[in-house]
Structure formats: structure tokens, C-alpha cells
Chains A and B, each alone.
Chain A
């Protein structure tokens, strides 16, 4: 059981690397993409593998005697269990209260160079959608820079901005907005 889950952990990042390699090949946009277009049905394209795995919740399993035995990523008492960094309106600076979380993840990545992480940048609904795409990316890159200072390699950290397209809170008030201005630290497959 444990061996199987270990196997999954190693397989998923590999799949991700693989996926990236293929997208990189087509990234130039210099060839006709009709093939890729046909692969994605015009009506209801299937969710991508990355998407499904990224959405999965991290499952925490405590050790027998209170001490944690498994991967520190699975330790509910570890700072690594905290995976959302919040921001002020229209800002991308890391606030003091989130520095230790980012440091913990950065150090974990530095100690585990085979692990990859996706930093998803999000904004609240105010302002324009495309500007918010830029702002979400700036926030994610702000987290990436801070993690890299802890020794994490840029090649371990992917940045994706969703702008205001994926809010957590659906309200239209300051509480909802504060919850939505965030970077999510996502370990694919965890």
C-alpha cells in the first residue's frame, strides 16, 4: 500500500514533466495546430490530467505516537500543510505572516529536488479580467522568487495564473475578496 503510493508520487511528476515537454514542442505556435485542435473536442473538452491531479486534496495521515512518520508534506502539523498565501488588493508583495510558510515549502523543495510544485496565482473579481491575469501571475512569481531564495530551483516551480477566473468565495464583499486574492501552492498528485 505504502509502496504503491510512493510509486504514484514518483510517477505523477514524471507525467507532468512529460506533458510539459510536449507542450513546449508546440509552444512556438509556428506550425499548424489542427492536430491539437482535433484532439480537443469543440464541445466539452475533457479535463486535462494536470487539472484533475491538481484539484486533489492532500490527505494527511498522522503517525501512531503523535510523531509524524511519513512524508512531511502529509504532516498536518507541519507548515507544509499550509498551502495558500494571501495578498492585499492589487498587491503582490509577500506579507510577513506568510513568510514562514513559503520558507518551509522552499526548503522542502530544496531538500527534495525531484518534487515539483505549481504556484497558482489568483485575484479578486475587481478590475478587469486580463489585468487580473497579469496580477495573478505577478503574485505567483513573487512566491516563486521567495521560494527560490530558500534554495528551490526554478525548474521545480511552475507558475500558472488564473486571474479572477477561479474564485474560492463567491460573495461580492471584502471577506470574499480577501479569500480570493491568493497563491495556491499545489503539489501535483498530492
Chain B
């Protein structure tokens, strides 16, 4: 298990090496927990000890980890000021100190200068059993320090809760800022899952829409109006290299990557009205999937690639439908509320998150496919664009707070709420990345 994790991380390094190009980028987003879980687990993350001849790097590993765990809503980190001692990775731990403080788990670590880079060592202890649960030594660089901290958060989260974390992931979203002349400036941004290292990958004077991650997390498909009409592009996140994918007359919209990364579901209206198509990215062969006089849009793939859920108003009002790729059989999924649209399929395939419109309020709801039970998770009025975290724990979405577009996240059980505030302008259409491969 640990070995597997280690291998996973080594692979991660190779591919993410170029990803975090600029270190120390200021946070464009700040995240605030607006509602946490009763009985979140107490955990102490001692400040990591610095061992080096030069100045300590500005990224505080322990602080990033504590903030990650806190943000998940599943942990309550102990404030550093309340700690009776500050042990590091090589210290002998006095577990009594931590039991007195009611801590169940303790994280200690050391950040060591190593040539041009760093080595991070950490240990996770079970305070009551006085045993070490896990420990790693990770080589990293100044640019990757935050990512390393997020990976440690993932290890801690999974070790304690038995399910994978999603801290070392990213979010893509669209911002709109009006300049002093009233001109709208759109930007497609990619940030770490904690809102740091936000960087534009595309700036435009024309609307940008519907970012969708490739399953390997290396590319984004999106809709841009830069030609005066909606067109679909695919862009590599690291290199910025991009390709125009679809520019038929009418709508070219709502791209969604298949789980195998080989096909793109999209919406075209060249046949008269919006229908779902599947484009084979290699052969460029296009296959029409739906054929109705209604608006069929917002396709999402099932995790196993066998079906697509989409929005259609074929029944008079927008509702979600499921179509089998194999035989084209269509089945209506949603019945509660006048408006159910913009599905996001949970990574385990069990839930569909959506925008649920009822009595003029648009909220995020989740449908449990096995039971058909529908549950509204939010209490805001203009919610849009739900997107599951790759571990299925949280759903990020866009909403309107104080006349401003903001990003928020809610846990699938509705108990944890987070808000991600943008410093300037409005943010919308968040898409949570898959695990980086």
C-alpha cells in the first residue's frame, strides 16, 4: 500500500515537474469553511523543522497541511499556539502532551535543504496507541513545495479515513472582469485545489465556457467565442498548445471527455437543434447520439464509459436523461422539481449531482442512482456547474453571493460547505481535475 503510494508519487513527479511553473504565485482565491462536520477529528500538525544553511522557504509545509485537513471539514487541526511542544521528524514523542490536548493524531516533519532542492520527511502518529501509522521521505524543489504538502495531506487523509484525498488536484474555472471602460475580460484559470497558484491559461475579450478536463489532467477542452461564434478547443495546460476541435455552423458546445480520453462528447446544432454527438479524437469521426426536436445538451460520461447523462427539454422542461452508448436506449432520470440540468457523475458512479430548479431557486442537488433518492445540498439561489472532486468527497459549483459570482463546494452528504472567494471579478464554471497521472 505504502509502496504503491510511493510509486504513484514518483510517477506524479515526472509529469507534474513542469506543471507548477511559477512558485510563490499569490493566492487569487481564498477559501473559507462556512460549515464543518460535527465531530471532525482532532489532529495536531506540528510546524515542520527547517534544517538548512540558507533562508527557510516561504511555504510552510505544516501550515499548508493543516489548512488542507481543515478545509476538508473532516479534521479540526490544533492551533500551533496551543501546542505544549513542537517535536519534529526525529524527535522522541511525548504522547502524554498530546493526549492532554485531546489530539487523536499527530503529524511531525522536517524540511531539509538538499543541494538545489529539499527533502521533506514526515511521520503520522496515532496518539492514543502511541504508534506510528505512516512516514515518508520525499525529495522536492522550491517550486513543488506546496504540491508536496498537498500530497502529504492526501497520505494523511487516506491513512486515517481509509479513502483517498483530493488535495493534490487542481480546479479550472472561468473569470470575468470588467475593466474601467466596461469591457469584459474573460480568463480560463487553473489553480491548485486550495486556490493557490492560480494562473490564466487563456485570456480573451470574448466569452469562455464549459472547461472539461482530460482524464489524465493534462488538457482542457472548452468553448470560446473568439471567432464571434462558439467553437470548441482543446488546450494543453502546460504548453498552452491548442487545437480547434469543432467549428460547425450553430452551436459547438458542452465538451465532455470520455473516461478513456479517446472521445469527446459535445453538442452541435448543425442538424437543426442542439443534439449530443461523440467525436473520436483520433479519427475525427463524428457520431450523432441524440436526435430530437428538443434541446439536448450538457453530456457527461458514466465512469465506465457505457452511458451518457444529458439535459433535455424533450418532456417540456429541462430534465436529466441517460442514454446507453451501446444500444441508444434513453431513460429519464429526474422527476422531482421543474428544472434538473447540468449533471456531474460521481467518480464511483453512484451519484449524479445537478442543478435543481424549483420555485425560482436553482440549487445543487444529488441523485442516488440506486435508490432514486434526490437530495438538495445547498441553500443559495443561483447555483450552477457542479463538478465532483476525483475522490467523490466534495462537489464544487458556482453561485452568486452578494451580487458576485463565487465558487463554493459542498460535501455529498451536505454537511461540509466551503466558499472560494476571488479577489477581483466573478468566478464561475469550476471543473475539478482528475487525479494527475
Contacts and interface: CB of A to CB of B under 8 A. Distances in A.
Interface stretch (A6-14, A48-56, A76-84, A99-107): A48-56
B5 interface: no
A113 B225 CA distance: 28
Nearest to A47: B205
Nearest to B298: A130
Given A129-B210, A129-B429, A33 B245 contact: yes
Interface in B269-299: 269, 273-274, 279, 284, 286, 295, 297-298
Given A32-B243, A130-B254, A133-B230, A44 B248 contact: no
B235 A29 contact: no
Contact of A161 (B230, B247, B279): B230
Interface in B237-284: 240-251, 253-254, 267, 269, 273-274, 279, 284
Contact of B228 (A26, A50, A159, A172): A50
Contact of B295 (A24, A26, A134, A165): A134
A37 B362 contact: no
A133 B250 contact: no
A33 B243 contact: yes
B355 A128 contact: yes
Contacts of B206: 45, 47-48, 51
Range class of the B interface residue count: 35 or more
B253 A37 contact: no
B310 to A, nearest CB: 10
B333 interface: no
A29 B233 CA distance: 11
Interface string A1-45: 000000000000000000000011011111011101100101111
B297 A131 contact: yes
Contacts of B229: 23, 160
A27 B201 CA distance: 24
Interface in A118-160: 125-131, 133-135, 137-138, 159-160
A133 B273 contact: no
A90 B242 CA distance: 35
B87 interface: no
B94 interface: no
B261 to A, nearest CB: 18
A95 interface: no
B251 A134 contact: yes
Contacts of A165: 207, 209, 225
A162 interface: yes
Contact of A129 (B242, B250, B384): B384
B297 A27 contact: no
A40 B220 CA distance: 17
Given A29-B247, A30-B284, A130-B342, A172 B403 contact: yes
A51 B205 CA distance: 10
Nearest to B360: A126
Contacts of B274: 133-134, 137
Contacts of B233: 37
B127 interface: no
A45 to B, nearest CB: 5
B137 to A, nearest CB: 38
Contact of B204 (A45, A128, A131, A160): A45
B378 interface: no
Contacts of A26: 244, 247
Contacts of B403: 171-172
B341 interface: yes
A162 B207 contact: yes
A127 B357 contact: yes
Given A29-B246, A130-B297, A162-B225, A42 B235 contact: yes
Given A42-B235, A127-B339, 19 more contacts: A29-B284, A29-B286, A37-B244, A43-B203, A44-B205, A126-B362, A127-B362, A128-B342, A130-B210, A130-B342, A131-B298, A131-B341, A133-B209, A133-B230, A133-B254, A133-B297, A134-B297, A137-B273, A172-B400
Interface of A: 23-24, 26-30, 32-34, 36-37, 40, 42-45, 47-48, 50-51, 54, 90, 125-131, 133-135, 137-138, 159-163, 165-166, 171-172
List 7 A-B pairs, minimum CB-CB distance, nearest first: A33-B244, A134-B295, A165-B207, A128-B342, A50-B228, A134-B274, A130-B254
25 contacts: A27-B247, A27-B248, A28-B248, A29-B247, A37-B242, A42-B201, A42-B202, A44-B204, A45-B204, A51-B206, A125-B400, A126-B362, A127-B357, A128-B318, A129-B209, A129-B342, A129-B429, A130-B209, A131-B297, A131-B313, A133-B209, A133-B254, A133-B267, A137-B269, A138-B295
